[in-house]
Structures are given as C-alpha cells and as structure tokens.
Amino acid sequence: MKFAVKTSANIDTDYWNVLIVDDEDDVHSVTKLVLKNFSYKDKKIKFYDAYNIDDTKKILASDVEFSLILLDIVMERNDAGLFLVKYIREELKNHLVRIILRTGEPGTTPEEKVIIDYDVNDYKEKTELTAIKLKSSIISSLRSFEELKKIRDNEKILKKKVEENIAELRKKDKLIQYQNRISENTKILNTLAHQWRQPLNIISLSASSLLADIELDCIDNEEFEHNISDIVQITQLLSNQIDSFLNHYKPNNEKEEFLLGTLFEKILDLVKKRVENHNIEIISDINTDLKLNTYKSELEQIIVHLIENSIDAYLTNENLPRLIKIKSEEKDNQIVIRIEDSAGGLSEEIKDKIFIPYFSTKEELNDTGLGLYMSKLLMEEHLNGKLNIFNNDKGCTAEVILY
C-alpha cells in the first residue's frame, strides 16, 4: 500500500494538506518536485498519495482535512476520477475541499461537460499543465478553500449564537413569548445559509482567480473589470441581506417610524446602477410623506428584491419597453405598495410555484430560488403583512400590503 495517513492527534496545522490521486508514480514524483519549494501564506504543502479509488476512499475516511485534491480522471477505470468527485460531494457531503481534475486523455471526458456536470474547481490536461499554470491553479484553489472555511466557521458561530440565545430565553422563562420568533428565525437562517453559500463561493473564486493572475503578472484588464463589477454587484445585495438579518435577529429589535419617501430614497439608490446599466426607467408615484411604523430594514430588503425581479425579467425580454412603475396607496387602514413591470408576466405553469422554496425561473448560477420565498416569509411572519404577485395587462405586479 502506497499511502500513509496521520491520526487526528498528529494533524499538522502549519501545512496545506494536498492529496494526489493518480495511478502513475511519475505524476506523483513530478508534482512534488515542481511544488517542492512552494508555499502560500507561509505554509508549505504536505502531500498524501493515492493510486486508485480504494486508496482514495481510505485516506478520505481519516481525520485529515484536505485543502486540495489533484485528481486524475482515468485510472483503473475510465471514469475513476469523476466517480470520486461524486463520492466526495454527494456521499461524504464534502463541499469544502477544492478539486482540480487532471487528465492525459481529454478526448474521453470533454472539458465543457465535466465543468457543467461535476462540482470541480478546475480541469487541466496534463500536457498543458506547466509549472506556472499548476502553481496558479493551486493558489486560486487554496485561497478559495480558505475563504469557504471562514464562511463555514462563521456559520458555526452564528449557530452557536442562536443556541445561546435560546438557552438565555429559557433561563428567563420567556421561551413561550419568543417561540414563534425563534421558529421564524430558524427558517430565515436556513434560507440565508443556502442563499449565501453559492454567491459567496462565486465571489471567492472570482477574487482568487484575479489575485492569482496579479501575482503571476498575467492580468487581463477587461476580464478584471468585468469580474470586479460582478463582485461589487453581488456583495452589495448580500450585504443588504446580512444587515437585515442581523438587525432582525436581535431580541430587542423593534418597529420604527419612518417616511415612505426616506425608505424609497435608499431603495432607488441601491438599484440605480443596475437600472442604468440595462436602460430601465423607474417611475415612482408614491406618497413620500406617508408615515410607516414597521421593521424598516426587512421592508427595504423585500422591495429591493421585487424590483430586482422586474429588472431580471426585462433581461430575457429585450424588445419590450423597459419601464418599472412604483405606486403607493392608503385605504382601509392598509398601506399598499405596488411594483409593476411590462416584461411579459408569469406563464400559467409557474405562477402558482413562485413562492415555493428553491423553485426558480432563472438560469444564473447564483440564483437559488429562495428570494421570493424568504420575502413572503418575512412579510407574513414578521411584518404581519401580505405579499401578492400577479399578472397585469403587459407584465407582472408585486403588491406589498401593510396592515
């Protein structure tokens, strides 16, 4: 047997644990030679070796936390590497370790199909994998691993905080009073955990790739500007969601009084860049002096998401006049806010599914199908209001009702 694994008591924290999986001894030797003096953030690589599927499974069953796996596709079977990717992601539920596929027979496994169908971080042909390309890919992968690990650790801290808050409520005999609130927070927490993971992963991978290019002096200015623009756009929306959740979760979170005009001044500023970039006109016909007494940050998050949905709808209907109308109305002790577009509306087969969690009409990688579900959850269970979405003559209307 050609592998060795340290016990948990002997795990090194001063190294990046990298597993080489390949049935050729020369590949192991050359890889180690090329990376002999390699270090990232003052940590060198500790290599582990596996030569087939069984070797790999035994090593992965140990207590070693691997940062990266350099995985050959063709070994004792033509799809050995692809089988192991599925095993790692689906059976072991390990979505943290970075995986770089390497193959000497690219014709048997086309790159486009592999990237689409498998959760891998890079795909390289052995013949094109020079020392500098290998190091660049490893830097990007290790940086991505580090960022994702931080996200995982922060999720653990947040979970612990939730548990501590529950314990404190029990001590103060206030569990009954906060029972509905805790249930609501649990739903929102689970929703946000799913919704944040993939966009944050995209941000991490984009930033890591850009930094690796800078370090290796092979930056492409046009690609750099495009990736930075994407990162800024995603982080702006996620930051808004995070702030909303943190404010919402505090046990002393209280309603506040504010003007509708003040709320929409911030909302329109948040969506201004996307609206301008896609030549969309927003006509706001609201009562700016109307006073509201509710949870401001949650209402802001809901309305921003509804406007973003209308923007996205126009992106798939390019020939339509791009106009979003926002109106407000006060009647029968209710405040009604409507966001209307003329982007074609909802088809019959999906209009009854839009509030189902994880259902999405979008094809983007960073869409999880959770936005409308979470908006409806916040609206009904925390703001004590109602959210309706229905077709109008030319498109779709989102209606926010506050009682």
**Residue 4 lies inside a defined structural domain of this protein:** no
The DSSP string of 210-266 is HHHHHHTT---HHHHHHHHHHHHHHHHHHHHHHHHHHHHHSTT---EEEEHHHHHHH
Domain boundary among 84, 112, 129: 129
- What does the radius of gyration of the chain's CA atoms come to, in whole angstroms? 25
Residue where one domain finishes, among candidates 80, 100, 129:
129
Q: Which two tokens stand for residue 128?
A: 């094109």
Same domain, 160 and 221: yes
Q: How far are the Cα atoms of 161, 190, 194, 328 from residue 155, in angstroms, in the given order?
A: 10, 10, 11, 38
CA distance 49 to 70: 10
Reported confidence tier of residue 132, pLDDT bands at 50, 70, 90: very high
Q: Are residues 90 and 148 in the same domain?
A: no
Q: Is residue 5 part of a domain?
A: no
- Answer yes or no: is 147 within a domain: yes
Pick the range with the lowest mean pLDDT from 99-108, 169-178, 328-337, 383-392. 169-178
Q: Are residues 278 and 401 in the same domain?
A: yes
Tally of structural domains, the chain: 3
In this structure, the answer to whether residues 220 and 273 fall within a common structural domain is no
242/261 same-domain check? no
Residue 7 lies in a domain: no
Q: What is the mean pLDDT of the chain?
A: 84
Co-location of 175 and 35 in the same domain: no
Predicted pLDDT at 367: 45
Whether 6 is in a domain gets the answer: no
Query: Are both 110 and 159 inside the same structural domain?
Result: no
Last residue of a domain, one of 224, 251, 278: 251
In this structure, of 2-11, 251-260, 340-349, the range with the lowest mean pLDDT score is: 2-11
**Together in a domain, 259 and 393:** yes
What secondary structure letter does DSSP report for 129?
-
The residue among 45, 59, 56 whose CA lies nearest residue 6 is: 59
For residue 86, the domain's CATH number is 3.40.50.2300
Indicate the range of 282-286, 330-334, 388-392 predicted with least confidence. 330-334
| Shared-domain flag, residues 236 and 286 | no
| Whether residues 104 and 35 fall in one domain | yes
Whether residue 125 lies inside any domain: the answer is: yes
Lowest-pLDDT range, 66-80, 126-140, 360-374? 360-374
The torsion angles phi and psi of 293, rounded to 5 degrees, stand at: -135, 90
Asked if residue 356 belongs to a domain, the reply is: yes
Question: Which pLDDT score, from 0 to 100, does residue 208 have?
Answer: 83
Q: Give the domain extent around 32.
A: 12-129
At residue 230, what are phi and psi to the nearest 5 degrees?
-65, -45
- Residue 198 covered by a domain: yes
The CATH number of the domain holding residue 332 is 3.30.565.10
Are 59 and 71 members of one domain?
Answer: yes
In this structure, the answer to whether residues 101 and 23 fall within a common structural domain is yes
